[in-house]
Structure 1
C-alpha cells in the first residue's frame, strides 16, 4: 500500500565503559561502536526513506558530538555502496555512542535542514546535545505560537522536532546543570501527541524515551557492555541481541545512561496506553515484535479474519479451481497467505513489485498514478481467466488500488477481482505521525458520510468506484483480536474517529468543520495555525 507513509524511525547504541569486549561487535573497539548505526537504520528503513542521519559521541575529539545527516536512503546518506567513502565517514564520525534517524516528512520541507538528528551547539556541555524523534505533536501550533510570542525566540523550520528541541533547551537554561531526564520531565506535560525520542549530549549521556501513551514503538536491549535501542526489535536482533534480551520502553518511561550506568525511570505518568494499530498492519518490519506481539503473527491473524468472513458469506466459488488469492506486495503477503490457507485455495504472486523504482512516495496526483503503474507488474501467466481475491492491508486514498485493478484486468487478464482489505475503512485523519491529515484525501468518507457504520451498499459503491467486482473490509473489532490487545489499549482513531489525546480530538473537530474547504491541500494542523493567525490579526 504505497500511498501511506510513516514519519520516522529512531535508533541508539552505546558501548559502556568496560574492560569486557562485546561479543556483538568483536571487530570494533569501544570508540568505533558507531559503525553499527547504519546497519540498524537499514533495518528500519521501512519507516522513512526521505532522509537519514546520525550523531556520534567521542570523548577524545574536539567535536565531542558530531552529526552527519542528509536527504536520501541510508544507503545513499552513508555511501554504503562506495567502500572508500563509507569507510572515510565511519572514521570521521567514530564514537562510543550514537543516535540515528530515518525520516519521512508529514510536515516541514523536503530538504537537508529537516533531516535528523538535530544538534544544538553550546559552550556548556550539558546544553550541547543532539536529538531525534519519531511521532508528531498534535498541539504543535499552540506550542509554536507560544514560543514565537516571545521576541527572544525564533524558529527556522516548520517542524515539531524543532519545537521539542526548543522546549528541552528552555528547561536547561540557567547556571544550574539540568539533566536531559529532568528537562524532559519538566517539558513533557506540555507535549500532546506521539513522541519516541533519543538524545545524546557532550558529556556522553544518553536518553531514550517514549510518550505516556506508547503510541510509537520503542525497545532496548543490553548485552555485556553494549546497549542499543530502536523503534523496532528487528534492528536489535540483526546486530546480535537475543530475543529474551529485548525489553520494551514502557509508556512514559525513559532509559538513561549517565556515568556509564543504565537507569530506567518514569518521567511522566501513563494513565492509559494507545499503541498505534497500524504498526502491526502495515508500518513495522514483518520480522519485528512490538510490545510483545509479533508483527507476522498479527498479519496472519488478520488474514484468518478475512477468511472467516468469506466462509460466512459463501457467495464466491472457492472449489472450481479458478479462484486464487493475490497479495499486494509486500506488507499484505502474510495476511493473503493465511487467508488462502484457511480457504483452501492457492496464494499466488500475481503482482511483482519493482524494488528499484525509486522513492515514489514523494510524488502526488498524476505522478503518483504513474508511479503505481511502474511499481507493480502483473503476471498474466498467473492471473489470466482467474477469479482473484486481491488482498490489501488498507486503502487510504485509493489511487494505487484503482491503478492496480485496471492493470490486473488489462495486463493480467483477470476475469474477476474481489478486493479484500485487512483493515477497517480509514475514516479520520492521523495527527500522530502518519501522512494522512485531512478527511477530503481519504477514500472511505466519500461513501460513508458522517456514519461510522459500514454497509453492504457502501462497499458495493466503493467497489464500483475502484473498478472491482466486490470489496470487503474487516470490521473494527477484528483489529484488537488480531494484534492481541484490548481495543482500549490501542489508538484506532483513524478507523473510529476517537482520539486518545485532547490535541487529537481538537484537530479532528477542525477537520470535520472544514472538510469541505480542504481544496488547498493544507493539513489540518496547518489550517489550525492559519485560523489562529487570522484571529490574532482580526482578519
Structure 2
C-alpha cells in the first residue's frame, strides 16, 4: 500500500550501573551503549524514512548531551555505508545513554530543523534536555493558539513537537529542586489530547520513556543484565539480543523512569480505556513484531483467513492469489492456503528506487515505477489481488490496469484485508481528509452493500471488490473492539478533540479542507 504513511518511531537505550556483564552491550564498555542506537533505528525504519537522529548523554564532556540529526534514512544520516565516517560519528556520540527517532511527516518538508530529537540547551542542567515524540496531538491547534496568544512566546515551526518542547520546558521551569519526572508527565498529560509516546534525556543523564494513557501507538521495552532499551516495536529489541521473555509492552499511562541510575516503572496517568491503533497490526508494524501481546504476523494471517471465509467467486484451475508487496503477503498467503489455491508473486516491487526519485505528486506514476506485473504468472489467470487497504484508490486503479494490460490477467478480483476507510486519522497517520478518501463517495455513513462494492470495483476497473467487515478486525487481532482505535473505519474517535476535528471535517465545504490539515497535519512528529 503506497498511499499511507506512519509518522515516526522512537527508541532509547541506557547502560545501568549493574550492566557491566551484559552480553548485549558492545565491548562491555558503558560508553559504547549509544553506538547501538542506529541498529535500533534501522529496525523501526518502516515507521519513517524522511529523517533520523539521536541524542547521547556523556558525563564529563563539555556537551553533556549532544544531538545528531538530519534529513535522510538511518543509513544516510549515520553514514552506515561509509565505515570510517560512521565510526568517527559514533566516537563523537558515544555514551552510556541515548534516545533516537525516525521521522515521516505529512507535509514532508526536507528540512533538518524538523528532524528529531529536539534538544533544548540551557546553563542549568535540569533545564538542558532532549526528547523525541511519536504520535500526533489532536489539540495541536488549540495549544498553538494558546502559546501564541502570549506575546513573550514564539513558535518557529509548524509542528506539535515544538508545542511539546515548549510545554516540557514550561513544566520543568515551574519545578523547584530536583526534577520530578513523574510530576512532569502528570501535568503534561492533563493538557494533551491524542497520541504521544515520548523518550526524554537530560544533562543529568535522567531518562524517561512514556506511553500515552490510551496506548494508541505501541511502545515496547526490555531490561536484561542491567541494560535497558525501548523502541516503538519489539523487533528492534529482539534483534538487539534481548530475550523474548524480557520484552514487554509498556502499559498505557505508564513510564519507565531512570534517575540516579535507578530504574522504575510508574503509572503517571489513569488509563480508563485503551485505544490501540488497529492499523499497527494490519499494516504499519514490522511483521516480526509483537505488540500488546499480539503477534503482527498472526494477526495478518487471521485477516487472510477472514478474507477466504467470505469468498464467493468460483475457484478454478486458473485461480491464484497475489499480494501487493510487501505487507499484504501474510494475509494473501493465508487466504490462498484456506482456499487451496497458489499464492504467487505476480507483482514485483522495485526496491532500488530512491526515496527522492519517487517523490512525485502523481500517485499513478509512483505505482507504475514501484510495481512491475509478471505476465508469466498472470497471463490468462483469475487473479485475487490482496491489499492492506484502499485510501485514495489511485494506486489500486493503476495496479488493476497494470495486471490486466501488462500482466495479461483474465480477471482481477480485489480483496482488501481491512474495512473501508471512511474517516481521517488525527492520531499520527498520514490520512486524507474525508473529501479525498475513496470509500465515502460511495457509502451512506457506515453502510456497505454488495451493490456498493460492485460500483467501487467497476470504477477501479476490477471484476469484483470485497472488503472485510469491521467486526473481523477485533477477531483477527484478538483484542476487543472496545480496546482498539478504529475511528477511520467506524468514526468513533477515542478523544474529545478527535471527535471535534471529525465534525469540523464533515462541516467543511469543498474549499474547507485546509482547516483540518492546518490543525492536525502540519509537519507532525
Q: Following the alignment from structure 1 to structure 2, what is the Cα–Cα distance between the partners of residues 173 and 46?
A: 36
Q: Following the alignment from structure 1 to structure 2, what is the Cα–Cα distance between the partners of residues 186 and 175?
A: 11
Q: Which residue is equivalent to 2:419?
A: 424
Q: Which residue is equivalent to 2:428?
A: 433
Matched, 1:496 2:485: no
Q: Following the alignment from structure 1 to structure 2, what is the Cα–Cα distance between the partners of residues 33 and 290?
A: 25
Change (3 A) 1:97 1:86: same
User: CA shift at 1:106, angstroms?
Assistant: 2.6
Name the Cα RMSD after superposition.
1.6
User: CA shift at 1:109, angstroms?
Assistant: 3.2
Per-residue Cα deviation, 1:350-401 (whole angstroms, up to 9, x for no partner): 01111111226974542x2211101011111000000000000100011111
Q: Following the alignment from structure 2 to structure 1, what is the Cα–Cα distance between the partners of residues 446 and 148?
A: 39
The structure 1 residue matched to 2:518, chosen from 500, 507, 526, is 526
Change (3 A) 1:528 1:131: closer
Do 1:118 and 1:131's aligned partners in 2 also have CA atoms closer than 8 Å? yes
Is there any run of 5+ residues in structure 1 with no aligned partner, and where? 531-539
Do 2:321 and 2:344's aligned partners in 1 also have CA atoms closer than 8 Å? yes
Q: Following the alignment from structure 1 to structure 2, what is the Cα–Cα distance between the partners of residues 344 and 227?
A: 46
Do 2:133 and 2:198's aligned partners in 1 also have CA atoms closer than 8 Å? yes
The structure 1 residue matched to 2:438, chosen from 424, 440, 443, is 443
TM-score (norm. length: structure 1): 0.94
User: CA shift at 1:444, angstroms?
Assistant: 0.5
Per-residue Cα deviation, 1:25-61 (whole angstroms, up to 9, x for no partner): 2425101101100001000000000000000011121
Number of residue equivalences: 521
Is there any run of 5+ residues in structure 2 with no aligned partner, and where? none
Q: Which residue is equivalent to 1:142?
A: 142
Q: Following the alignment from structure 2 to structure 1, what is the Cα–Cα distance between the partners of residues 231 and 277?
A: 16
SS in 2 for 1:90: helix
Change (3 A) 1:515 1:385: farther
User: CA shift at 1:19, angstroms?
Assistant: 6.6
Matched, 1:463 2:457: yes
Matched, 1:328 2:328: no
TM-score (norm. length: structure 2): 0.97
Q: Following the alignment from structure 1 to structure 2, what is the Cα–Cα distance between the partners of residues 375 and 359?
A: 11
Q: Which residue is equivalent to 1:317?
A: 314
Q: Following the alignment from structure 2 to structure 1, what is the Cα–Cα distance between the partners of residues 189 and 463?
A: 50
Q: Which residue is equivalent to 2:271?
A: 270
Higher relative contact order (CA 8 A, sep 6+): 2
User: CA shift at 1:525, angstroms?
Assistant: 4.6
Q: Which residue is equivalent to 2:309?
A: 308
Q: Which residue is equivalent to 1:383?
A: 378
User: CA shift at 1:182, angstroms?
Assistant: 1.9
Do 1:141 and 1:525's aligned partners in 2 also have CA atoms closer than 8 Å? no
User: CA shift at 1:147, angstroms?
Assistant: 0.8
Change (3 A) 1:190 1:174: closer
Q: Following the alignment from structure 1 to structure 2, what is the Cα–Cα distance between the partners of residues 317 and 214?
A: 42
Per-residue Cα deviation, 1:211-263 (whole angstroms, up to 9, x for no partner): 00000000100011210000000000000001110111100011100011111
Change (3 A) 1:346 1:237: same
User: CA shift at 1:527, angstroms?
Assistant: 5.9
Per-residue Cα deviation, 1:452-492 (whole angstroms, up to 9, x for no partner): 11011111111111111100000000000000011000000
Q: Following the alignment from structure 1 to structure 2, what is the Cα–Cα distance between the partners of residues 141 and 40?
A: 32
Change (3 A) 1:238 1:344: same
- Identify which range, 486-495 or 99-108, moves more after superposition: 99-108
SS in 2 for 1:427: coil
User: CA shift at 1:505, angstroms?
Assistant: 0.0
Q: Which residue is equivalent to 1:9?
A: 9
Q: Which residue is equivalent to 1:66?
A: 66
Matched, 1:359 2:351: no
Do 1:56 and 1:95's aligned partners in 2 also have CA atoms closer than 8 Å? yes
Q: Following the alignment from structure 1 to structure 2, what is the Cα–Cα distance between the partners of residues 144 and 35?
A: 36
SS in 1 for 2:240: coil
For residues 159-174 of structure 1, the aligned pairs below 5 Å read 159-174=159-174
The structure 1 residue matched to 2:396, chosen from 393, 396, 401, is 401
Q: Following the alignment from structure 2 to structure 1, what is the Cα–Cα distance between the partners of residues 159 and 318?
A: 51
Change (3 A) 1:389 1:471: same
User: CA shift at 1:437, angstroms?
Assistant: 4.2
Q: Following the alignment from structure 1 to structure 2, what is the Cα–Cα distance between the partners of residues 408 and 278?
A: 27
User: CA shift at 1:173, angstroms?
Assistant: 1.2
Do 1:325 and 1:345's aligned partners in 2 also have CA atoms closer than 8 Å? yes
